[in-house]
Each structure stands twice: as structure tokens, then as C-alpha cells.
Amino acid sequence: MANFRITILPGDGIGPEIVAEGVKVLKAIEELYHHHFEIKEALIGGISLDQTGIPLPDETVASCQASDAVLLGAVGGPKWDQNPGHLRPEAGLLGIRKKLGLYANLRPATAFESLVDASTLKPEVISGVDLLVVRELTGGIYFGHKERREVNGVAEAVDTLHYNEKEIERIAHTAFRLARLRRNKVTSVDKANVMESSRLWREVVIRVAKEYPDVELEHVLVDACAMQLIRTPKHFDVIVTENLFGDILSDEAAMLTGSIGMLASASLGEGTFGLYEPVHGSAPDIAGQGIANPIATILSVAMMLKYSLGLKVEADLIELAVKSVLEKGYRTGDIASTGDEVKGTVEMGQLIIEEMKALKK
Ligand code: IPM
Ligand code: MG
């Protein structure tokens, strides 16, 4: 039995609905294993803008810093789309990642056998896919110099892509260490044929690789990687890449699992503290309808138990329950095929919890 402090940041759109299911899963773990989770809710994103005028209040950062882990839903929506950059909901998400030093974003894409038909790709391409995107999360073009200006009456905008070798080194170490726990292969993705930052990236990754002679390293240009992810996704084990490339490639990788509604993520820094969130966004088009897929959030809870709380057995139970519920044919709308009976967010959460209880016996 152990005590943990968790901050939840439901955010916008479907965020509150899916985080509610994640919290129910935490409560089920409490009951089944007699742990105690002290759960505090805080504001981020659009809802925070509405209530406080800023996307990331200091109290939210403080609550996260006083916690063992954070569960986040999603931020953003059309209501705030016209806001200036620093007053957009996304600024809250980028701010919390940066302030908490969460430079390593882990996004595993694993094909569930029972869902291979839900993918738009052929079953033989999808079946057996098991890859991990390690996205650098606190550097690159997301955090470079930004500017709007006018030159001779013509509007211009600037975003700079900046990396130093320390930032590249630490994310490379993360990738190699994780590859050792998997299939010992790292694909470093860059655009070294064009970009100077990518040439530095490649040099540093090659240098770090010397400390991991047992791990195979290859370099793939980002455009070729985008293609190969669709053609032969089984080629990949760990993909390590800079912030924006990782953002794009992880959405692509998500579709290998059938739906972006399935993809969980962990954002880690030094130590065990982490922020966990589904990769999909706030999906304002389906918010409030009770139809969002809670699985990505529930799998994010499993990652939290594994990476931040040291509760591997408990995490395995959640993953097993998700797999089993899918094998029994239960589907939310995003992963349903014609003829499937479609479950809502709460029903799907409940099915997974019942399955956890049954499997634990
Ligand atoms: C993600 C999202 C965010 C990002 C947005 C919402 C700022 O797309 O987590 O992948 O670009 O990092
Ligand atoms: Mg994204």
C-alpha cells in the first residue's frame, strides 16, 4: 500500500469526459490494491482562460510540482482560436511541459490484434506493429524565437528552430535506454540534408550511440520516415526525433493502431515525475456528447503507474483489461466497424473497470 499525489488537468473539449474515466480507473486501482491517490484538480487551457484570463495559472504549476504525477485531458477549441499566441489554450500545455522540464515525450503505438481491421491500412501491414516515438518536447521550433513584423508593408512571421547539444544528448540517452528495454534499435529522424539543427542532431546522436554499442542506430530523413511508417511500420522500434517532427509523426503512427483515440503518452524529465495525456486533442466537434474514446486516457493512466509510481503490476492489469474488452468486441465509435454495437465514453470506462476487477480475481 502506498500514497500518491496526483494532479488532474481535464482542460477543454472532451478532456473532462475522458479524464473522468481515467480517475475512475485510478479509484478502481485504489480499491483493488489498497493504494491511496490524493487527487487534486487544476485549471489549464481554454477553461483557465475563461476563469482566470490566462492559460496556465501559477497555482496549477504549483499543484503539479507538489504531485507525483499529472493526468491531463486536452486543451483548445474554436472559442479561443482567434486569441493571440500567448493567450491560446495551447500556450498552457506548452508552458506546463516547459516549466516542469518534461523534455522526453513517449508515444507508444502498438497494434491491437482485435483492431487491425479498424485501420485504414491492410491488416498484414498493421499486425504486429510495436513502436515507440520518443519526441523531444521542450525545444526546437515550438520554443524558438517567434516574431510578427512588417517589412516594406508586407507582413512576415518568424519561428526559429533552435537546439543545443545538451538538449539533444539527453533525449538521445532516453531513446537508447528505452531501446534496451525493447528490441535494441533506434531510428533517429531528422532533415540533415537541409537543416543545420538536424546536422547537429545527427552528430550528437552518433556520439551518444557510442555508449550503447548493443543498440543498432539508423538515421532516416523525416520525409522518408513518414513514407516508411505507412509502408513498413514493423521496421521501427524506437523513433527519436525533434519536437515538430515528433508531433507530426506520432499522429501518423497513431493511425497504425486503428484510431488516435487509442494512443497514450508520457512526458518525462529527470526523475520519476511525469505528465500523462492522450495524444488526441480536445475534439470539440464531439465534446459533451459522451461518445469520445476513453482508452487513450486509460492507457495513459497505465503509463503513469508504470513510469512515475512504480506500480508495474497494476499498470499491466489496466493494459490487459483494455485488450480483453477489445477482444470481446466492445467498441467506441472511432474504432467501430459496420455492425458493431457502439459504446459511449462512460460505458467503455465501466467495461474496462469491470474487466480489471474480474481479471484481478
Ligand atoms: C500534441 C498536441 C500539442 C502539440 C498541441 C495541442 C499544442 O498536438 O500534444 O501532440 O503540438 O504538442
Ligand atoms: Mg500533436
Is residue 265 helix, strand or coil? strand
Ligand 2 centroid from CA 245, angstroms? 10
The grid coordinates of residue 101 equal 522540464
13 lines ligand 1 (CB under 6 A): no
Beta-carbon count within 10 A of 267 CB: 27
* Options 130, 251, 316, 340, the catalytic residue: 251
Cβ < 5 A residues, ion ligand 2: 247
> Do residues 17 and 294 make contact, with C-beta atoms less than 8 angstroms apart?
yes
Task: Summarize pLDDT for 239-285 with one digit per residue, the tens.
Answer: 999 999 999 999 999 888 878 889 999 999 999 999 999 999 999 99
What span, in angstroms and rounded, lies between the C-alpha atoms of 171 and 101?
A: 12
Print pLDDT tens along the chain (361 aa).
789 999 999 999 999 999 999 999 999 999 999 999 999 999 999 999 999 999 999 999 999 999 999 999 999 999 999 999 999 999 999 999 999 999 999 999 999 998 888 788 999 999 999 999 999 999 999 999 999 999 999 999 999 999 999 999 999 999 999 999 999 999 999 999 999 999 999 999 999 999 999 999 999 999 999 999 999 999 999 999 999 999 999 999 988 887 888 999 999 999 999 999 999 999 999 999 999 999 999 999 999 999 999 999 999 999 999 999 999 999 999 998 888 889 999 999 999 999 999 999 8
Query: Of 244, 232, 12, which is closest to residue 131 (Cα–Cα)?
Result: 232
**146 annotated active-site:** no
247 lines ligand 1 (CB under 6 A): yes
**159 annotated active-site:** no
Is residue 83 helix, strand or coil? coil
- Cα-only R_g, the chain: 20
pLDDT of residue 107: 97
| Mutation to probe ligand 1, out of 70, 88, 90 (largest number of atoms < 8 A from CB) | 90
What span, in angstroms and rounded, lies between the C-alpha atoms of 40 and 195?
A: 43
pTM of the model: 0.95
**285 annotated active-site:** no
The grid coordinates of residue 216 equal 543498432
| In the chain, domain spans | 1-110+258-361, 120-257
* Options 68, 237, 247, 334, the catalytic residue: 247
The backbone region for 288, taken as left when phi is positive above 0, alpha when psi lies in -120 to 50, beta otherwise, is left
CATH of domain 1-110+258-361: 3.40.718.10
Say if 1-110+258-361 and 120-257 have the same CATH topology.
yes
> Do residues 219 and 202 make contact, with C-beta atoms less than 8 angstroms apart?
yes
Query: Residue holding cell 482562460?
Result: 49
> Do residues 89 and 9 make contact, with C-beta atoms less than 8 angstroms apart?
no
**237 annotated active-site:** no
HEC states along 100-116?
CCCCEEEEEEECCHHHH
CATH 3.40.718.10 fits 120-257, yes or no: yes
Task: Summarize pLDDT for 64-120 with one digit per residue, the tens.
Answer: 999 999 999 999 999 999 999 999 999 999 999 999 999 999 999 999 998 888 788
pLDDT of residue 120: 86
pLDDT of residue 129: 96
